């Protein structure tokens, strides 16, 4: 009899807990962190600037966005103020100084991480070197000479085999005709 009273109470508490938990989870959107691009190129020793966008939930205390290099060393930090009753959008210019290494960097805000790739180059764009025409001419002449020698050599080798076969065939034909007469 006691179990009949306990079962509805347990069921009601379970449903209250499920509805309470789902309403709390639905009302709270996760934080968002966006970058203007995921790939950057910079010269060694120079600075890089790019924009980050952060969407912070309502009623949250002060927090920090931090950025890390490929070796997990902190290279940038930005304090984000507390929010009141509404969700807020923050834009921040991330300024990185004296870049020296290429790799996968990342920025983190609360539980969100955004990865981005940075290619650091030692020098800028260089015009491709144009080959000198004399080099091309020398290679073309050398290739032509090899082609001529190859054709002449092939004709000489095969011509010798053809004449030998025709003489041998004529000798065999003459021998057969003499042999048939006997």
Write the DSSP string, 27-52: H-PPPEEEES-SEEEEETT--EEEEE
Is 89 a member of any domain? yes
Question: In whole angstroms, how far apart are CA 34 and each of 6, 30, 65?
Answer: 51, 13, 12
Give the domain extent around 38. Answer: 31-121
The answer to whether residues 22 and 39 belong to one domain is no
172 DSSP assignment: H
Residue 90's beta-bridge partner residues?
54
Place of tokens 């006997």: 182
Is 181 a member of any domain? no
Residues of the chain with pLDDT under 50: none
Side-chain half-sphere of 72: how many Cα atoms within 13 Å?
0
Domain count within the chain: 3
Cβ neighbours of 56 (radius 10 Å)? 21
Is 182 a member of any domain? no
Q: What is the gyration radius of the CA atoms in the chain, in angstroms?
A: 42
CB 31 within 8 A of CB 54: yes
At 175 the pLDDT is 59
The answer to whether residues 43 and 104 belong to one domain is yes
Residue 104's beta-bridge partner residues?
117
Taking alpha carbons only, the member of 131, 67, 78, 139 closest to residue 104 is 67
The answer to whether residues 101 and 40 belong to one domain is yes
How many angstroms from the chain centroid is the CA of residue 152? 52
């Amino acid at each position: 009899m006691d179990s009949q009273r306990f079962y509805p109470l347990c069921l009601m508490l379970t449903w209250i807990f499920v509805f309470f938990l789902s309403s709390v989870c639905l009302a709270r959107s996760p934080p968002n962190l966006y970058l203007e691009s995921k790939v950057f190129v910079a010269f060694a020793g120079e600075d890089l600037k790019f924009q980050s966008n952060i969407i912070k939930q309502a009623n949250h205390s002060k927090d920090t966005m931090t950025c890390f290099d490929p070796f997990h060393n902190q290279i940038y930090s930005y304090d984000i103020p507390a929010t009141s009753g509404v969700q807020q959008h923050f834009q921040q210019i991330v300024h990185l100084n004296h870049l020296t290494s290429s790799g996968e960097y990342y920025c983190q805000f609360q539980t969100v991480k955004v990865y981005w790739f940075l290619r650091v180059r030692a020098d800028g764009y260089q015009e491709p070197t144009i080959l000198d025409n004399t080099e091309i001419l020398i290679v073309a002449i050398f290739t032509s000479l090899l082609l001529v020698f190859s054709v002449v050599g092939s004709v000489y080798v095969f011509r010798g085999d053809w004449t030998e076969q025709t003489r041998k065939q004529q000798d065999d034909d003459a021998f057969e005709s003499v042999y048939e007469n006997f």
